[in-house]
């Protein structure tokens, strides 16, 4: 396989194999469009906690993987529908959409002849946006909040807005922009983190330093967001920045026409405020232990599962595993908290179990974890096929009891590693801080992790504040303890 000395973005598209079709007794068929519609575009609940995720820095990997998704990274919007949304891709790259104080601005990025404007000219334009006079509109008068609410009401309001000439022009600015830039106020109403003011260039950050910014990246101030946009760059006054990404792959000036959507605006704003108040998000930093190399991802995954089993007992968890080694591959789930983890948890809690036995159980759990991840990456996972069966059943108007039971079981933990920091797209002065997403269930946890400088592990833990069984800070502490125990057990001498 040859791609030349300077391979392009799509150099490997012609040689990547399609995802394998397992035997008939394992599954039936897979269709990319059905996957998008069933898993992503059919979601009717608010996007901030069910469809979007955030990143504090974006990186790229080095393996040849499918590039199909990159085609929709820019110039893409999710358009709401009554029963199912759809993706729109088009437009040009002449201007980006900018939100500041809930107001929409169109900022050109090219000059005569399609020439890209130099950084100094872009800086002047953004400075003019920041200095724009006049009081900002009230949150309940900014349609951006509608993108944070349930999808059917937003679909009806957008159709009404589209009928107005000025509103339609503003919607085109948002839809056709390559991406959106949100210039935000200080997160958390300007309150400093619990640790006090964080250091300007603290790397890795301390526990809690990034909590408010992480929550703002995921939920916003919703009046200064357009969650339908595929890619939004959020910039804080501190100079820190991050991304909000619509998973399925901005603010029209409608103050004079609010009669047609005021009720939906109020409902969406109320729903967004409830989401924000109910989301507990904690960014935890675990320093690398001295001595042996940093723990592998498989050991960190076992620490997550061990912490969960200690808190919850037997339950369901999954790790999102990319399948982009295949053409148009998306993601698969590697299930955790299986019998080897349960046996390990029992042994770790039993003082009568010797170190040798614990190490043997740890080895078995690590082998299962790596095997499940390898199976998921190579197209032999389980959940993608179950979702494909559910999509086909929905098309045939069937409701098999088996699928209802299996897919209806709640996930207690969803986990995913953030993109690797090698090689960085941004300079070393902008260190990675990972990213995260909302919990998969009202009584579940969402955990994302990455490695910071000096091999520190940065965890982003989310859960519902209203849940009687979850607490983000407590669970982060349990992960820290479990990782320390497993690392010591793996690295120490056997008795």
How far is residue 163's CA from residue 260's CA, in Å, rounded to a whole number?
11
Residue with tokens 């107005």: 164
Parallel/antiparallel/unpaired status of strands 279-286 and 435-436: unpaired
Among the listed residues 322, 323, 325, 320, the one whose alpha carbon sits nearest the alpha carbon of residue 65: 325
Parallel/antiparallel/unpaired status of strands 445-451 and 413-417: parallel
pTM of the model: 0.75
Helix or strand (DSSP H, E) at 96: strand 95-100
Among the listed residues 111, 100, 156, the one whose alpha carbon sits nearest the alpha carbon of residue 133: 100
Chain centroid to CA 219:
12
Parallel/antiparallel/unpaired status of strands 241-246 and 331-336: unpaired
pLDDT level of residue 180 (50, 70, 90 thresholds): very high
- Residue 227, CA distances (Å) to 86, 190, 212, 274 in order: 14, 23, 19, 16
pLDDT of residue 476: 96
pLDDT of residue 195: 46
Token representation of residue 24: 């008939």
Higher pLDDT, 232 or 266: 232
Lowest mean pLDDT among 7-11, 380-384, 392-396: 7-11
Which of the residue ranges 14-23, 84-93, 231-240, 346-355 has the most confident prediction, judged by mean pLDDT?
Answer: 346-355
Q: Cα-flanking dihedrals φ and ψ of residue 239, to 5°? A: 95, -15
Q: What is the mean pLDDT of the chain?
A: 79
pLDDT of residue 423: 43
Reduced to 3 DSSP states, what percent helix, strand and coil does the chain have, rounded to the nearest 5?
40, 20, 40
- Residues 6 or more apart from 127 whose CB is under 8 A from it? none
- Residues 6 or more apart from 287 whose CB is under 8 A from it? 204, 454, 456
How far is residue 333's CA from residue 323's CA, in Å, rounded to a whole number?
10
b (16+ CB within 10 A) / e for 197-214: ebeeeebbbbbbbbbbbb
Token representation of residue 38: 């069933």
Higher pLDDT, 485 or 292: 485
Mean pLDDT over residues 142-164, rounded?
88
pLDDT level of residue 428 (50, 70, 90 thresholds): low
Beta bridge partners of 461: 282, 447
CB 107 within 8 A of CB 94: no
Higher pLDDT, 262 or 306: 306
pLDDT level of residue 266 (50, 70, 90 thresholds): low
CB 257 within 8 A of CB 167: yes
In the predicted model, is pLDDT for residue 291 greater than 80? no
How far is residue 50's CA from residue 39's CA, in Å, rounded to a whole number?
11
Helix or strand (DSSP H, E) at 234: strand 231-235
- Residues 6 or more apart from 204 whose CB is under 8 A from it? 285, 287, 431, 452, 453, 454, 456, 458
In the predicted model, is pLDDT for residue 164 greater than 50? yes
Is the C-alpha dihedral spanning 298, 301, 307, 309 positive or negative? negative
Higher pLDDT, 128 or 47: 128
CA angle (123, 127, 128) in 5-degree steps:
120
pLDDT of residue 479: 95
Mean pLDDT over residues 120-127, rounded?
90
pLDDT of residue 251: 26
pLDDT of residue 363: 93
Higher pLDDT, 256 or 224: 224
State yes or no: cis peptide before 423, omega within 30 of 0. Answer: yes
- Residues 6 or more apart from 225 whose CB is under 8 A from it? 48, 99, 144, 147, 148, 182, 232, 244
Q: Which residues are catalytic?
A: 247
State yes or no: cis peptide before 104, omega within 30 of 0. Answer: no
Chain centroid to CA 250:
19
In the predicted model, is pLDDT for residue 252 greater than 70? no
Residue with tokens 């334009």: 125
In the predicted model, is pLDDT for residue 341 greater than 90? yes
| DSSP for residue 336 | E
State yes or no: cis peptide before 204, omega within 30 of 0. Answer: yes
Share above pLDDT 90 across residues of the chain, in percent, rounded to a whole number: 29
């Amino acid at each position: 396989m040859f791609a030349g000395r300077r391979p392009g973005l799509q150099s490997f598209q012609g040689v990547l194999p399609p995802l394998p079709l397992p035997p008939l007794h394992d599954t039936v068929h897979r269709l990319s469009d059905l996957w998008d519609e069933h898993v992503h575009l059919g979601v009717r609940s608010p996007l901030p906690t069910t469809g979007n995720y955030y990143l504090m820095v974006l990186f790229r990997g080095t393996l040849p993987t499918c590039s199909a998704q990159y085609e929709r990274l820019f110039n893409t919007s999710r358009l709401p529908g009554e029963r199912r949304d759809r993706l729109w891709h088009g437009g040009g790259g002449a201007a980006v959409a900018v939100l500041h104080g809930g107001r929409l601005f169109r900022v050109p990025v090219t000059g005569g002849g399609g020439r890209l404007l130099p950084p100094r000219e872009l800086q002047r334009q953004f400075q003019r946006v920041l200095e724009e006079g006049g009081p900002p509109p009230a949150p309940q008068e900014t349609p951006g909040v509608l993108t944070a609410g349930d999808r059917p009401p937003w679909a009806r309001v957008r159709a009404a807005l589209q009928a107005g000439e000025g509103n339609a022009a503003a919607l085109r600015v948002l839809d056709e922009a390559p991406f959106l830039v949100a210039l935000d106020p200080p997160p958390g109403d300007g309150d400093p983190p619990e640790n006090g003011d964080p250091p300007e260039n603290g790397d890795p950050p301390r526990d809690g330093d990034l909590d408010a910014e992480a929550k703002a990246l995921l939920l916003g101030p919703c009046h200064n967001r357009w969650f339908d946009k595929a890619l939004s760059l959020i910039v804080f006054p501190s100079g820190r920045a991050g991304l909000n990404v619509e998973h399925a792959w901005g603010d029209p000036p409608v103050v004079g026409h609010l009669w047609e959507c005021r009720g939906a605006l109020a409902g969406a704003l109320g729903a967004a405020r409830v989401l924000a108040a109910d989301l507990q998000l904690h960014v935890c930093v675990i320093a690398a232990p001295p001595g042996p190399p940093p723990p592998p991802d498989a050991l960190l995954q076992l620490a997550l599962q061990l912490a969960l089993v200690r808190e919850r007992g037997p339950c369901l968890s999954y790790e999102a595993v990319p399948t982009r080694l295949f053409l148009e591959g998306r993601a698969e789930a590697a299930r955790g908290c299986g019998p080897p983890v349960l046996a390990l948890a029992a042994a770790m809690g039993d003082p009568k179990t010797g170190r040798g036995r614990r190490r043997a159980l740890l080895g078995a759990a690590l082998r299962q974890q790596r095997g499940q991840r390898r199976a998921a990456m190579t197209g032999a996972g389980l959940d993608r096929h179950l979702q494909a069966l559910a999509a086909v059943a929905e098309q045939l108007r069937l409701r098999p009891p088996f699928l209802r039971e299996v897919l209806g079981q709640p996930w207690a933990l969803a986990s995913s590693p953030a993109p690797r920091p090698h090689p960085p797209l941004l300079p070393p002065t902008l260190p990675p801080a990972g990213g995260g997403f909302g919990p998969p269930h009202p009584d579940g946890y969402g955990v994302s992790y990455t490695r910071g400088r000096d091999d520190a592990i940065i965890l982003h833990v989310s859960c519902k504040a209203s849940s009687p069984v979850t607490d983000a800070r407590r669970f982060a502490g349990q992960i820290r303890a479990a990782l320390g125990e497993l690392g010591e057990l793996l690295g120490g001498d056997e008795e």
